[in-house]
């Protein structure tokens, strides 16, 4: 197994039960703020590609974990799977349900925590998550829950931002101004091969692992910042929390990041957002 970088390694000591409860409550507030659904819907292609990668079949029992506004769940329902979407943010689940209703897709939406899924063991053929489960504080417990609800021989398919990609750098930029709690593992650990090996070792086998790019397409730097500062919970809350000088400095750093990564020239903003697409076979 490859060694992990220090920023992605396990904390030295296990946390006691309940240690993440306060953090999860704060996370729920963050993801409930703004209008993430309007950002999430632009990522729909990731859910479509993930359903193709996992070779989804009509009639499969599918669970979309930390489903947000339902990109992967909707993609699975379009392929005639029997789909359940679970998330702990009610407003995002409501957005998922509205989208399903608009398309006439049968889709069950249930509130639930990715670290304590409200389902029986081995109840699903396929379990999906796009940029969702990676943000759970207790990563080992979340991985264990994905495994628990997947039947033996079933598949788990994940899309997770990588450390070296655009969103990985954006998260580090925000963390420079608002450091995460000590000992908390970086969410982009899920976007690395060694991280997946650690989380699922001995319980699932990697069938496919591919680096992909999602293209962020915006009119320009100010357009991106305006959208994400008002709709993307982590950035919105960062700007709300920081004092004016720190807020201005963070905004300037993000603008530099966008300019450095932009492949669209002067006319538009075109930034590849690298993510890891993984399909695992449950033992």
Q: What is the pLDDT along the chain (283 residues), one digit of tens a residue?
A: 333 333 343 333 345 546 688 888 888 888 988 899 999 999 999 999 999 999 999 999 999 999 999 999 999 999 999 999 999 999 999 999 999 999 999 999 999 999 999 999 999 999 999 999 999 999 999 999 999 999 999 999 999 999 999 999 999 999 999 998 887 899 999 999 999 999 999 999 999 999 999 999 999 999 999 999 999 999 999 999 999 999 999 999 999 999 999 999 999 999 999 999 999 999 9
Q: At what angle do helices 233-241 and 221-231 cross, to 10 degrees?
A: 90
Of 84, 95, 169, 91, the closest CA to residue 129 belongs to: 84
Question: How high is the pLDDT of residue 24?
Answer: 83
CB 48 within 8 A of CB 156: no
State pTM to two decimals.
Answer: 0.92
258: phi then psi, degrees, rounded to nearest 5: -65, -45
How many alpha carbons fall within 13 Å on the CB side of residue 87?
A: 33
Question: How high is the pLDDT of residue 123?
Answer: 98
CATH number assigned to the domain with residue range 20-282, chosen from the 4 options 3.80.10.10, 3.30.70.360, 3.40.50.10310, 3.40.50.150: 3.40.50.150
45: phi then psi, degrees, rounded to nearest 5: -60, -30
CB 238 within 8 A of CB 153: no
Question: How high is the pLDDT of residue 8?
Answer: 43
């Amino acid at each position: 197994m490859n060694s992990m970088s220090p920023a992605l390694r396990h904390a030295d000591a296990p946390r006691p039960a309940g240690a993440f409860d306060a953090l999860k409550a704060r996370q729920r507030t963050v993801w409930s703020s703004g209008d993430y659904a309007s950002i999430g819907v632009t990522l729909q292609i990731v859910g479509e590609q993930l359903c193709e990668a996992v070779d989804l079949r009509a009639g499969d029992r599918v669970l979309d974990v930390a489903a947000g506004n339902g990109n992967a769940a909707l993609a699975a329902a379009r392929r005639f799977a029997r789909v359940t979407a679970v998330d702990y943010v009610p407003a995002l689940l409501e957005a998922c349900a509205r989208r399903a209703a608009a398309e006439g897709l049968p889709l069950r939406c249930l509130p639930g925590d990715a670290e304590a899924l409200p389902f029986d063991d081995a109840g699903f053929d396929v379990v999906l998550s796009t940029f969702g489960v990676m943000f759970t504080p207790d990563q080992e417990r979340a991985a264990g829950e994905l495994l628990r609800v997947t039947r033996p021989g079933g598949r788990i398919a994940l899309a997770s931002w990588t450390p070296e990609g655009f969103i990985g750098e954006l998260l580090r930029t925000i963390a420079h101004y608002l450091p995460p709690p000590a000992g908390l593992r970086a969410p982009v650990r899920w976007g690395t091969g060694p991280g997946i090996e650690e989380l699922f070792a001995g319980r699932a086998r990697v069938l496919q692992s591919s680096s992909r790019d999602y293209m962020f397409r915006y009119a320009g730097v100010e357009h991106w910042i305006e959208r994400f500062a008002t709709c993307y919970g982590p950035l919105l809350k960062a700007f709300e929390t920081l004092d004016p000088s720190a807020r201005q400095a963070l905004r300037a750093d993000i603008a530099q990041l966008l300019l450095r990564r932009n492949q669209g020239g002067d006319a538009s903003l075109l930034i590849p957002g690298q993510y890891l697409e993984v399909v695992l076979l449950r033992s």
